[in-house]
Structure 1
Amino acid sequence: MIREIIVVEGKSDTVAVKRAVEADTIETNGSAVGEEVLRRIELAMERRGVIIFTDPDHAGERIRKIVARRVPGCKHAFLPQEKAMYKGDIGIENASPEAIRQALSELRTEETSGTGDITWEDLMEAGLIIHPDAANRRLEMGKLLGIGYANGKQFFKRCTSFRISREEFAEALRTMEQGQE
């Protein structure tokens, strides 16, 4: 049984999570996260802790930001888009139990004080911003680092808030570049 309560978008996501692990969920019922749902998530955080596990798409990222801003200290689980895809539809509900278990085993926690080791210049040198293939490179690095896909600014924010170390970053970059040869 997972101790924390997992925040998902809807009923289908709850069904998929419960197929993979024994856990309780709170459903946001889409991207218009209401005040009542946010209060339930705050209570869950106080009593058991919270894992945010939203779809790897724009709406899921919007929900993740809303919840994380309102309820600091949440853990984050990220599912790569290709593991959440079925017939053009992206969502947790499309993922295999194995993919869900893997995402939940690689949790990240945001730090609200201090910053990580990664600089904006590191992202430029790694070709993650201002590079013809930057979006694809961020997609691959996001998978390797377990922080999901994001645009350049958001990727930098995740590197700092999740305190990605220089060593971790360099190892992921080496792995990515070896895979592209």
Structure 2
Amino acid sequence: MDLDGRKVLIVEGRTDKEAIKKVINEPLDILCTYGTLGVEKLDAMIEEHELDNREVYVLVDADDAGEKLRKQLRIELPHAKHLYVDRVYREVATTPADYLASLMAQANITVKFT
């Protein structure tokens, strides 16, 4: 797999991925977990996408399911950088685009200027 130094962002679902794609302006691999992952599925994702050797970011919902996933990813990917949506918005998908863009910019991910 030719990764070209692309960063990876791990999100929970397709709507989260679509929200992020609207604000970024650089090649970024966005992986969806679709909720919590079993150990085998997580290990397969890490191996398939070579996550141990890449710059990885985690952005999940500010709810119990998101926190459970975040804890799991902290153990399996200790080098990953964690980004947080404000609890006011709760979900990545419903977070305003300008707020998401600000989060991405803080992580040194190039964003579109709207």
Compute the TM-score of the two structures, normalised by the length of structure 2.
0.75
For 2:101, give the aligned amino acid: R
For 1:39, give the aligned amino acid: A
Partner of 2:6: 3
- For residues 56-95 of structure 1, what are the structure 2 equivalents within 5 Å? 56-82=62-88, 84=89, 90-95=90-95
Measure, in 2, the Cα distance between the counterparts of 1:97 and 1:41: 28
- For residues 52-131 of structure 1, what are the structure 2 equivalents within 5 Å? 52-82=58-88, 84=89, 90-107=90-107
Higher relative contact order (CA 8 A, sep 6+): 2
> Structure 1, unaligned stretches of length 5 or more?
85-89, 108-181
Partner of 1:16: 19
SS of the residue aligned with 2:9? strand
Structure number with higher strand proportion: 2
Percent identity for Structure 1 against Structure 2: 26
Structure of greater Rg: 1
Partner of 2:111: none
Structure number with higher helix proportion: 1
Measure, in 2, the Cα distance between the counterparts of 1:39 and 1:49: 18
Shift, 1:98, TM fit: 1.1
Compute the TM-score of the two structures, normalised by the length of structure 1.
0.49
1:50–1:93: structure 2 CA closer, same or farther, 3 Å change rule?
A: same
SS of the residue aligned with 1:20? coil
> Structure 2, unaligned stretches of length 5 or more?
108-114
